[in-house]
A and B are shown apart, each in its own frame.
Chain A
Amino acid sequence: MKNLQVDALVVGGGIAGMQSALDLADQGFHVALVEKEASIGGKMISLSKVFPTLDCCSCITTPKMSAVAHHENITLLTYCEVVALEQNGASYRAQINKKPRYVNEESCTGCRLCEYACPLDLPSAFDMGLGAQRVIRVPFSTAVPQKAVLDIDNCILCGKCENVCPVADCIDFTQTAVTFEIHADAIVLATGFELTPTDAKAEYGGGKLRNVVDALTVERFLAPTGPYGHVLRPSDGKEPESIAYVQCAGSRDISLGVAYCSRICCMYAIKQAMLLSGALPLADITIYYMDIRTFGKGYEQFYQNARAMGIEFVRGKVARIHEDAAQNPVVRVEQIDDGSVVEREHDMVVLSVGMLPSYNPGLIYNVPVAADDGFVAQSAANISPCLTYQPGIFVAGTAAGPMDIVDSIVMAGAAAAETAAYLEERRAVGMAGNGRSPQTTSVKEVSYA
């Protein structure tokens, strides 16, 4: 694959990365967007609805995904990972590893005939292991690009997909990883977050209790594109009559190594509780919480609405979860309001897991992480939150710390503006620009920040 020369490289194709790429591209800058998964969309595309407006999440995300894919100034590189990012004179050189799809990305039409022909079902990664997916498949229905990807580790090489594929030489079992370089004058890091794994806390069953799920799983239950089109608990497919939310199941807990608040969990738990009340009108929903943090516009009202709807809020951090004989999770908690310790049985327990950084500082040139939380360190967090400690490298969205979708989008726009200003300033002093080769001037000579 050919090396690329662009103005800006955006690392990460979630909502923040897409927004930054679009905002830069709309201003005429050439942008490369690198996404490690086979489709862009990030975590947001798998969500059901957004708080506090309860807008359909796909309906907001897919237009942006399409816009990215079709924008003439954006080169979209999916299934690619940045394996090293180094300074190259005044600009940056990123080494990109393109993982093999075993499908020719140029010729694949996304017809999905291969997927229908594939005889093997695996737990669906996109549906949090609830539904099934084929070994060769388009990642999910609204994936961008609509290109098939083959999971070679689970493939039995039966060749059925190859037989039905209408395009010659499209499926290629011999494909290998390709390495190439991207030369960019500026970088936007939008590497997002990971969720606290459900097995992180032994007291919450260590991931072994089947009816203890994380909140992203519930998003899939609730999403119109979800696996069952219905809320069914994992162990026996029963419709849960009693659902509990355990707040701070991955945040504000030093025993998990996470001292910070993940900010989104209160609101998504309230949102899910409301949606579940709609999906299961007879179900009792309880939220065990320490304090409810409704920090954004309209959030407090949203919370009050949930209370008024009859969702039960119990103050107290769940200490332990165990299972009874019927695999019903039983939570043990001190109810702070009256100081009593109770054990309450529910049909399903949802862990309101938190945000962990997914950025790997070892790969990126001179961009450290904050010592206390592991998110990308901001050099001027309160006045220019998109700046890192390396001029020319900017940060957007949850790569910088826990934040919700609205804040991620705002920050992505800000990062695009900072990047644009940086690129314009470089052009003004005659340094490398769009399509021109970078000069060997040190970045420090650029009057910046």
Chain B
Amino acid sequence: MATVRLSFSPAPVHVRTARLVGVAVARRAGVDEALLDEVRLAIGEACTRAVALHRQYGLTDLVTVEMSDSGSYTVRVIDHAPIEASIGLTKLPPDELAAESLTEDDLTTGVGFALLAGFVDDLQVRPVEDGPGTEVRMVWPVTRR
């Protein structure tokens, strides 16, 4: 089992770094090349969500991305925002997407979750074990060892 752990301050500029590392580790772990675009997008969405929550709550705590390749490729993105902040994860129906009343931030949150749910077959969102925060756990199959 190999694990790579990346922690970054909650700034948008670092999300790209997390995507690049996440895809590099996925490739090395043996995730099918055809899935790498989806891995890149999903890690980016999970990190974008974590950064947005930390900024919303004025938190300077680091966001953590943990990647492991024991049997499958598992990525955990961990934030430290109050757990109730995660309840806003909803998939929006098409007729509401361009509604005047919907703010761009709310739309981005809803669309981000739709992308996570759409691209990751094995997705879990759960509280972290100690302290406030949420863990977004994503698993992809490994085809080449």
A binds B: no
Q: Which residues of A contact B (CB under 8 A)?
A: none
